[in-house]
Amino acid sequence: MSKEKLVVAVVGATGAVGREMLKTLEQREFPAHKVIALASARSAGIKVPFNGTELTVQELTENSFEGVDIAIFSAGGSTSEKFAPFAAKAGCVVVDNSSAWRMDKRCPLVVPEVNPQDLEWHNGIIANPNCSTIQMVVALKPLHDAAKIKRVVVSTYQAVSGTGQKAIEELESQVRQLFNMQQPEPKVYPYQIAFNALPHIDVFLDNDYTKEEMKMVHETVKIMGDESIKVTATAVRIPVFYGHSESVNIETEKKLTPAQARAILTQAPGITVLDNPKEKIYPMAIEAAGEDATFVGRIREDETIANGLNMWIVADNIRKGAALNAVQIAELLIERDLLGVKDTTVFQ
C-alpha cells in the first residue's frame, strides 16, 4: 500500500486519546494520503488540529469505513462493539483502544515490542491493551525471554488522565477548592482525588479485585503467550495528571541479577533505563509525560526469594499506553503487508 492511496480514520478524534493519536500520526510522519476524523453526531463539525491545518470531524456511521484502510478507535467500548465489525466488513483493519475486543479469541492483543507476530492472524480487528498492561509487558518480555517469569506482583499508581478529560478537570478544580479553604466536590471519582490515593480503578468484581486489576492479569498472559505466568495486581488512582507508575516484583525460574536485568533492559526496544540510586536517578511520572519510552529503574534483588527482582516502571499512559502503541501497530500492518481483511464475515 503506497502513501498515495492509504486512508486512515481516527474514531473518537475529539477525545484526549483521539487527539493524541492525531498528534502521534503527525509526529511520526505516518504514510497516509488522507486522514479522516470521526466522532459522535454531537461532535460532528468540530475542528481538530492535524499536520499544520485542521480536520473537520465527521459523524461516525455504519458506512464511514468505505475506502478506509486503517481505523484507529478510541471512542469507548460500546462504540467499538457496534462499529468495529462494520469496519472489518468493509475491509478496513481496526486498531481498537477500548477493552471491548481484548480478550476476544478472534482478535490479537498486541504490543509491538512484545508480540508483533500476532498481527499475522488478525481478522480485521486488533486490540490495543490496557495502558497499565502495555508498559509492564514492554519491560517484562525481555526478562521473560532471558529467565522465564513465573510470577508477577504489581501495584500501580495511575494518573487521572486514564479516566479522561473530566477527571483531569476534577483534579484541577479540587486543588483550587482546597487552596481556597473549600470542600472539594467529587463527581468523577467516588471520593476526593486531590492529595489522596484511591485503591479503586474501574468496578469491583465478585472476587473483590477491580476490573482494571483483572485486565492486567488476563492481558499479560495473552500478550506474553504463556499461561504459566501468574499475575496479581492492585491498581491505585493517584493525583497525577499524566504518567502511570508501577511497582513490579517478579519471580523467575533462572537467576537474574540486577546488573544482568539492567543490561538486558538497556538493549530492549522501547525502554530507557534510569537506575542510579546514589545519584537519585529513577523514573518519575513528570519526566515520562509526553515521552514515547517506557522507563525502568529501582532494579534490585528481592531478598525474600531465590530468584526475585523488584523494579519501578513508568510511562505516559496517553502516549505509549494508548496513542503510540496503536500507531505503532498501524505502522507494522503497513511494514508487514497486513492491510486488508481476508474474511470479512468473521465478526458478522
Going by the DSSP 8-state scheme, the letter that residue 321 receives in this structure is I
CA 113 → CA 47, 141, 158, 324, distances in Å? 33, 8, 22, 12
244 is known as an active-site residue: yes
Residue with cell 500507531: 327
From the CB of residue 20, how many other CB atoms can be counted at a distance below 10 Å?
Answer: 22
Distance between CA 344 and CA 348 in Å, rounded? 8
| Contact (CB, 8 A) for 260 and 236 | no
CB burial of 169-178 (b: ≥16 within 10 Å; e: otherwise) equals ebbeebeeee
Alpha helices in 33-190 (DSSP H): 77-89, 131-147, 165-179
Distance between CA 130 and CA 96 in Å, rounded? 11
Amino acid residing at 109? L
Of 92, 107, 122, 131, the active-site residue reads: 131
Distance between CA 226 and CA 221 in Å, rounded? 6
The backbone torsions φ and ψ at residue 255, rounded to the nearest 5 degrees and listed phi first, read: -65, 130
Selection from 311, 155, 314 nearest residue 235 by Cα = 155
Distance between CA 259 and CA 262 in Å, rounded? 5
From the CB of residue 278, how many other CB atoms can be counted at a distance below 10 Å?
Answer: 5
State which H helix or E strand residue 70 sits in.
strand 70-73
Those residues with Cβ within 8 angstroms of residue 73's Cβ, 6 or more apart along the chain or in another chain: 11, 12, 79, 80, 83, 84, 94, 95, 96, 97, 98
131 is known as an active-site residue: yes
**Which residues are annotated as catalytic?**
131, 244
